[in-house]
Amino acid sequence: MIEMKKRALSAILAAGMVFSMAGCSGGSDDSRNAENSAGNNAENDSENDAENTGGQEDGPAAGAEGSAEETEIQVFIAASLNTVMTDLADRYSKEHPEVKITFNADSSGTLLTQIEEGYECDIFFSAAQKQMDDLEADGLMAEGTRANVVNNQVVVVTLKDSGTSVTGLENIGDAESIALAGGSVPVGRYTRQALVNLGILPETDDPASITTEEVSEALGGVEISEQANVSKVLMAVAEGSCEVGTTYYSDTYGYEDDLDILETVSYDLTGDVIYPIARVVNEEADEAQTAAAEDFLAYVLSDEAEEVFDSYYFDTDVE
């Protein structure tokens, strides 16, 4: 078993939570997602949060004298979950102030790699089944904790009043520039799968293996800016760096006045966009940390959390 490391988590949080932007024509880092993520990260890392005393009779990990024991859990989440999970963590913390929740948000492929490399993680919330399958195959998943939480949908977006002639994936090559996630990023894989099913890309057993250069060539040589996660795709379009891009419907929450959805891509083209969650085997965790991770996972699967997911444009009708 790989030794779990509490190595410079602030560094990967800075990479995962503060979304830098490298768009088709540059782009700034002053996006609302970046501000929200950075603020959440700073709040989680503050000494004041770390010094919460709890004071509850019934917590996920009660001390010998009845008061809840302070602990911290590391939760790795797909970038598209950042906003809703921040909300859920705030709600949870009102009842469990003794539990500090630290998020690491990035593409599911990047997060899986970090877990495999030994970064300490208690819960993994992926945007695709593949990464969760790999986690389980690696023996890094706590047995019996995996569950499907929400479904999502790929959308083609553009800046409001952009004047684009693109109407969806079928003529996306008419754009001057496209923001597209890499193949290892779930939304990038789903987009490639849809283009395969439309006959624009060649048939393949692994759409994720289709390079960005190959996508550009199939679309007539259009300029494509490859992005590291779905949030960066969104910001490339919202900041006007790229004419169009493919993101998730849930990511358009809060951007209704800024973006137009050109197409909501059918599940017939992408397949279901299921987000699974599971507890990760963390050999560094003590009893209090493990209990807190189990309790927060149960909260994410609760009826209360389901209503919150619905409000952020996720589809909670999953099996």
Q: Looking at the structure, do residues 185 and 85 belong to the same domain, yes or no?
A: no
**Residue whose token pair is 């997911």:** 309
Given a cut of 90, whether residue 214 has pLDDT beyond it is yes
Q: 132 lies in which domain range?
A: 9-151+275-311
Q: What is the pTM of this model?
A: 0.78
Count of CB atoms situated within 10 Å of the CB of 296: 23
Arithmetic mean of pLDDT, 180-205? 97
Query: What is the tens place of the pLDDT at every residue in 165-188?
Result: 999 999 999 999 999 999 999 999
Tell me how far CA of residue 161 lies from CA of 130, 154, 261, in angstroms.
37, 21, 12
In whole angstroms, how far apart are CA 123 and each of 72, 280, 288? 12, 5, 15
Do 220 and 78 share a domain, yes or no?
Answer: no
- pLDDT tens for each residue of 47-68: 444 344 333 334 454 443 446 7
pLDDT exceeds 70 at position 3: no
280-312 pLDDT, tens per residue? 999 999 999 999 999 999 999 999 999 999 999
Q: Is residue 171 part of a domain?
A: yes
**pLDDT tens per residue across span 97-135:** 999 999 999 999 999 999 999 999 999 999 999 999 999
For residue 239, pLDDT over 90 is answered with yes
pLDDT at 310: 98
| CA–CA–CA angle 176, 18, 256 (5° rounding) | 55
Query: Rounded distance, CA 221 to CA 10, Å?
Result: 39
Do residue 305 and residue 166 come from a single domain?
no
Tell me phi and psi for residue 148, to 5 degrees. Answer: -85, 130
For the chain, how many structural domains are there in total? 2
